[in-house]
Every structure is written in structure tokens, then in C-alpha cells.
Chains A and B, each alone.
Chain A
Amino acid sequence: EAGVAQSPRYKIIEKRQSVAFWCNPISGHATLYWYQQILGQGPKLLIQFQNNGVVDDSQLPKDRFSAERLKGVDSTLKIQPAKLEDSAVYLCASSLEPWGRGSPLHFGNGTRLTVT
């Protein structure tokens, strides 16, 4: 099966600019996640969708970050305006089963964002 697709792979922007990342999960996967991985740290969950509804966005900096999953398939994550501390790898993941089953997450290769 095709894996989780993310684009772009790399992005360099100046602070205060905006940027958007795109994710296409594995076909049929109900749950989609966006994680932020800062260099030297473990991934941190930003937002979790169940189909096209938000399940958890408690760690999403909502003053600058937004995400949507229209039609319950593809998703976009946007940062506006970007700050230097947003430099990180943004990972998208999907899982087959909704909850309670311990279904493993499948990750894309990520988008490496550098804010200068």
C-alpha cells in the first residue's frame, strides 16, 4: 500500500511569513495526526483528526497554527506568522482504526521547516 505522503520535503522562510504543509494519509485511515519534532526532541502532537473532526488540539498554538482536514482525507497545516522557534520537522501520520485498539501510526517522511 502507498504510504503517507507529505509535501514539500523542505521549506525555508523568513520569520513573520506564512507557510502551509500538505498531507495525504493512507487510503481508508480514519485518524490523522500532525506532530512537530524539534531537533533533539521526540515528536509532539499538535492536532489529531478523527475523519474530519478535531479530537485533540490542546498543544496547537492556535494564535498562529491552523489545520484542516476537508472531506476527511487530505489535510493541511498552516503557520501564520512563523517564528524562529517554529523551525522543526512537521510529521503527518495516519492510523486505520479510530480508537481503543492500539492501531499503530504510520508516518510520512516529514517537512523540514527552517525559519530565518
Chain B
Amino acid sequence: AQSVAQPEDQVNVAEGNPLTVKCTYSVSGNPYLFWYVQYPNRGLQFLLKYITGDNLVKGSYGFEAEFNKSQTSFHLKKPSALVSDSALYFCASMNTGFQKLVFGTGTRLLVSP
């Protein structure tokens, strides 16, 4: 069965500092991995995905994620955090069959001025 773990409930970072939000996965076969962001009272917005190819994936708003097969991780990163990045971030995995997307429990990112 596929699953995703986000070990941190909350990540705090100062504006201008680099940020990392952690995610590990358990998927049989080749994983499709995603990051979504959720702002208050809004749906989830797609940030980026890993399907195949380069392990470093670039996405929206300056975010990137690094796929590490040996550590089964897909951490979200940004070189310089903004206060407006404060939101709830979800990692998700998709199987290669019926496109079922399974989410982690989410990590709240708080960027302080």
C-alpha cells in the first residue's frame, strides 16, 4: 500500500532563510510524488511533481524538491523564505495505475518577519 509521512507538524523559519519541509514515501514501483500548498479557507494548490528524470524538481513560487530514492524522501525546499509562504504544505504520492493521490498529514510552515 502506498503511504506518505510528514514527520514535522510545524516548521518555523525566519524570512530570508532557507526552508525545508520533509516528506518520506512508501510506494511500490516507481513513485509519482507531489507537493501541494493550502492557504486558509482555500483548496489545495499544486506546487510541483516528480515523475521521472532529474532528482531536483523546480516548481511554482521558487519552490523545489529533491527526490532521493535511497532514502525514499522527497523534501520540499526554498532558498529564501517569504512571510507569504506561511501555509499548510502537503506531500502526496500517486500510484501508476488509477491515479489515486494519497496525502500526508501536512506540515504547517510559519515564516516570521
Chain A contacts to B: CB under 8 angstroms: 4, 31, 33, 41-45, 48, 50, 55-56, 91, 93, 95, 97-110, 112
Q: Report Cα–Cα, A114/B41, bound state, in Å.
A: 14
Interface centre among A31, A42, A98, A109 (most CB of B within 10 A): A42
23 contacts between A and B (CB under 8 A): A4-B43, A42-B90, A42-B103, A43-B44, A48-B99, A55-B100, A91-B43, A91-B44, A95-B99, A100-B96, A100-B97, A102-B51, A102-B94, A102-B96, A102-B99, A103-B99, A104-B34, A104-B46, A105-B44, A105-B101, A107-B36, A107-B45, A109-B41
* Interface residues on chain B, number (Cβ under 8 Å): 24
Could you tell me the distance in whole angstroms from the C-beta of B95 to the nearest C-beta in chain A? 9
With A43-B103, A110-B43: A48-B98 Cβ-Cβ less than 8 Å: yes
Please list the 5 inter-chain residue pairs (A to B) with the smallest Cβ-Cβ separation, ordered nearest first: A107-B43, A42-B103, A102-B32, A102-B51, A107-B44
Q: Are B97 and A99 in contact (CB under 8 A)?
A: yes
Known: A100-B96, A104-B34. 14 other contacts (CB 8 A): A33-B101, A42-B103, A45-B101, A56-B100, A91-B43, A93-B101, A95-B99, A99-B96, A100-B97, A100-B99, A102-B49, A104-B46, A105-B44, A109-B42
Q: Report Cα–Cα, A31/B43, bound state, in Å.
A: 17
